[in-house]
Amino acid sequence: MKLIHYLTLPAALMLTALAATAKDEVLTVAVFNFESTDEGMRDLGAKVAALINADLSADARIITVERAELEKALGEQEMGLSGTIQPETVARVGHLTGAKVLVTGKVFKIDRETIMVAKVIGTETSRVYGETVKAAGDASPADMASQLAKKIAASVSKNAETLVAKAEKPEDRIERIQKALKGAKLPVVEVHIPERHFGGITIDPAAQTEISFILEKCGFKLLDEKSTDKAEIEFKGEALSEFGMRKGNLVSCKGRVELKIIQKASGKILAVDRQTSVAVDLSEQIAAKAALQRSAQELAERMIPKAVK
């Protein structure tokens, strides 16, 4: 009996960890430089954001997007790191960075009082919550940033259900795609999305598998590289994943899928899109696969209907 007990203990611990993760989802948060235009405070916004980012990264409920990754993503959209990010760019930044929540803010003075205001924004729901810290003019900005970070972390945890869109069943997404395809003649297709995971060996391309699965469920005839038949449409792209960070037993990975739909006879590109997602799991490989799977699901809904137009 003791032997059975010891053999099952790791499994029990894993189940406990998974249950805790399901109950208290770890959210990915991106912190922007705070706006600081008042005289004598012009360089304070970036420092406040860096301090808040560091404090949030120590919270077990939150995984922060690396500042370098955030700058790179924003550079692609010709946007600067700013506390004045516009509402229409929120979802786009979420897609590029995989962040579920964005934090922006402002630092300013009223008389002798220093005020830090933060906005906590859900990239999927556009829901906004505000947090504020006030102190006398000679107060330490580092202490104020630490206080604000605690409030932000509490707000993210408390309001997770409204900041993040409710998880949907795969069947719901497939049903929407099927409705968009209703009445259309479905072409014969092939899917080629090679995959690479930085720092590890890739086994079975997750994005290609997911796109193929959804196409098949929607009624498309799929061909592989050994088929003697000719495809009319090709879904072609590449998938990249990489390790994000580790928190306790949990690992986060980021995955990016870039995809084209090509008309085989003419070589015409019918659609081009890309998607970045983040996933958390107990295993690096599974987290990487899950991130790529999420990206593929998002792309499938946006792109598959374009293959028949």
201 and 300 within one domain: yes
298 and 249 within one domain: yes
Q: Which domain holds residue 112?
A: 2-163
Beta-sheet strands, E only, within 74-160? 101-110, 113-122, 128-136
83 and 9 within one domain: yes
pLDDT at 267 over 70: yes
Chain segment 84-96, per-residue pLDDT in tens? 566 667 777 777 7
Choose the final residue of a domain: 124, 144, 163.
Answer: 163
Given this model, what pLDDT does residue 78 score? 42
Q: Which domain CATH number covers 199?
A: 3.30.160
pTM of the model: 0.61
121 and 206 within one domain: no
**Residues 129, 153: Cα–Cα separation, whole Å:** 12
183 touches 189 (CB < 8 A) = no
Decide: residue 127, CB within 10 A, 0-12 exposed, 13-18 middle, 19+ buried: middle
Given this model, what pLDDT does residue 153 score? 95
Q: Kind and range of the H or E element at 185? A: none
Q: What is the mean pLDDT of the chain?
A: 83
* Number of domains within the chain: 2
Provide the 3-class DSSP secondary structure of residue 64.
Answer: strand
Helix axes 67-76, 87-97, angle to 10 degrees: 120
175 and 153 within one domain: no
Rounded average pLDDT over 195-222: 87
Rounded average pLDDT over 254-265: 94
Half-sphere exposure of 278 (CA within 13 A, CB side): 28
174 and 158 within one domain: no
Choose the final residue of a domain: 163, 189, 207.
Answer: 163
pLDDT at 125 over 70: yes
Q: Which domain CATH number covers 99?
A: 3.40.50.10070
80 and 186 within one domain: no
19 and 142 within one domain: yes
154 and 14 within one domain: yes
112 and 36 within one domain: yes
192 and 153 within one domain: no
Chain segment 161-207, per-residue pLDDT in tens? 899 887 778 888 999 999 999 989 999 999 999 998 886 665 678 99
Given this model, what pLDDT does residue 2 score? 37
Provide the 3-class DSSP secondary structure of residue 204.
Answer: coil
* Distances from the Cα of 173 to the Cα of 96, 122, 242, angstroms: 21, 21, 26
140 and 90 within one domain: yes
Nearest of 245, 240, 232 to residue 274 by alpha carbon: 240
Choose the final residue of a domain: 103, 130, 163.
Answer: 163
